[in-house]
Amino acid sequence: MTQHTDVVVIGGGQAGLAAGYHLRRQGLDFVVLDAQATPGGAWQHTWESLRLFSPAAFSSLPGRLMPAQPGEEYPEAGHVVEYLSDYEKRYDLPVLRPVRVHGVHDDGRLLSVDTDSGTWHARAVISATGTWWRPFLPAVPGREDFGGRQLHTVSYRRPRDFEGRRVIVVGGGNSGAQIAADLVHHTELTWVTQRPPRFLADDIDGRALFDAATARRRALDEGRTDTGGVAALGDIVAVPPVREARDRGLLKASPMFSRLVPGGIEWADGTRAEADAIIWCTGFRPALSHLAPLRLRGPHGHIAVRGTRALDEPRLHLLGYGDWVGPASATLIGVGRPARDTARQIAELLS
């Protein structure tokens, strides 16, 4: 099956939906192709206790405020899934599921998008595939030797699965701190971080992070000194469960170990900790393998962009992956502006 449209959006999570909202406003013909069977992107797969780090009203996509979740100032992931499901219905966005894109090719006048349900020919493509699908695991000696269970953030669901076990949580970011706090009352926990954990001030949540990311982008764009953005404030949002565990003295971190051994981990001085499981909360990378046929990666493995547009392929935009494609663009509230600019630029290109 071969079809034609102005724009193919790859990925139907929040970034793909925000793109759809603005493409519609520009009057463009488009389709959103999403590999998931149901709406909600990565929010369908997070651990059960996850809460947003901002109140609902500060977690909204363009056009429609996220309603508050009754009884919860910081909504659950399930609430986000409901919001995104409602959003795509409300704006009647043409999302096709499940459709997985295998590759985007330069076909001369058009870009061709190969999927498991046929090929789409488009005048422009927006890639909005997120990072959840490409978990990052650091190279650590002895990984194959460890006899227990190893998993990444993406596979962690609930503390009950580790009841009474000796668990090592690796990572000093939000996922590491939240999963450590989730497990602290249920397991014999060792939390390991590369540098001492940097908690943000208790009154800082996603709202302040969005402001910090925006201020940094503005400073850089205007040639002023780098403000340091979010990273200058700290690494861990003190959401209520993290705050509580920290205040009770239960979130003490150990430094990074040097290798895995059959029964656990070992630090450089030979000290060991026994473990049944290791949970790697060590981050994500952009899921961009479908763009490989375009050969846009530079020497450092990055695709060079100006705003969201690929410098070497002006028909391609990258949306939502992180600050490098728009300040706070990997957040619900932050993706709206780059989505609007992307749709405008595509409308200009195609006119």
Ligand X SMILES: Cc1cc2nc3c(=O)[nH]c(=O)nc-3n(C[C@H](O)[C@H](O)[C@H](O)COP(=O)(O)OP(=O)(O)OC[C@H]3O[C@@H](n4cnc5c(N)ncnc54)[C@H](O)[C@@H]3O)c2cc1C
Q: Please count the CA atoms within 13 angstroms of the CA of 344 that sit on its side-chain side.
A: 8
The binding track of 269-308 with respect to ligand X, each residue x by CB under 6 A or -, is ------------------x--x------------------
Q: Is 12 in the site for ligand X (CB under 6 A)?
A: yes
Nearest to ligand X of 117, 258 (CB atom)? 117
Q: Is 46 in the site for ligand X (CB under 6 A)?
A: yes
Q: Which of 35, 189, 238, 265 binds ligand X (CB under 6 A)?
A: 35
Q: Is 327 in the site for ligand X (CB under 6 A)?
A: no
Count the site residues for ligand X by CB under 6 A.
Answer: 34
User: SS3 of 30, please?
Assistant: strand
Q: Is 146 in the site for ligand X (CB under 6 A)?
A: no
The contacts of residue 268 (CB under 8 Å, 6+ apart) are 257, 258
Q: Is 7 in the site for ligand X (CB under 6 A)?
A: no
Alpha-carbon torsion 142, 147, 148, 152, what sign? positive
Residues 87-126 that bind ligand X (CB under 6 A): 100-101
Q: Which of 69, 112, 175, 342 binds ligand X (CB under 6 A)?
A: 175
Q: Where are the beta strands (DSSP E) in the chain?
A: 2-10, 30-33, 95-96, 101-106, 111-115, 118-127, 149-152, 166-170, 188-193, 253-255, 259-261, 264-266, 272-274, 277-280, 305-306, 309-310, 313-318
Residue where the block lists tokens 């728009």: 326
Residues 246-265 that bind ligand X (CB under 6 A): none
How far CA 10 is from CA of 22, 120, 286, in Å, comes to 15, 11, 13
Q: Is 11 in the site for ligand X (CB under 6 A)?
A: yes
Q: Which of 21, 30, 53, 146 binds ligand X (CB under 6 A)?
A: 53
CB of 71 to ligand X, least distance (A): 18
What are the helix and strand counts (H, E) for the chain? Answer: 6, 17
Which of 54, 100, 106, 113 is closest to 79 using CA atoms?
Answer: 54
Q: Is 342 in the site for ligand X (CB under 6 A)?
A: no
| Count, residues in the chain | 351
Nearest to ligand X of 24, 259 (CB atom)? 24
The binding track of 201-220 with respect to ligand X, each residue x by CB under 6 A or -, is -----x--------------
How far CA 62 is from CA of 15, 19, 337, in Å, comes to 11, 10, 8
Q: Is 199 in the site for ligand X (CB under 6 A)?
A: no
Q: Is 330 in the site for ligand X (CB under 6 A)?
A: yes
Which of 258, 272, 247 is closest to 190 using CA atoms?
Answer: 272
Q: In the numeric block, which tokens belong to residue 327?
A: 């300040």
Q: Round to whole Å and give the CA distance between 296 and 5.
A: 23
Q: Is 14 in the site for ligand X (CB under 6 A)?
A: yes
**Binding segment (CB under 6 A) for ligand X, from list 33-41, 164-172, 266-274, 343-351:** 33-41
Nearest to ligand X of 46, 345 (CB atom)? 46
Nearest to ligand X of 53, 280 (CB atom)? 53
**Binding segment (CB under 6 A) for ligand X, from list 87-95, 186-194, 248-256, 329-337:** 329-337
Contact 81, 36 (CB under 8 A): no
Instruction: Name the site residues for ligand X (rule: CB under 6 A).
Output: 10-16, 33-36, 41-43, 46, 52-54, 59, 100-101, 128-130, 132-133, 175, 206, 287, 290, 320, 330-332
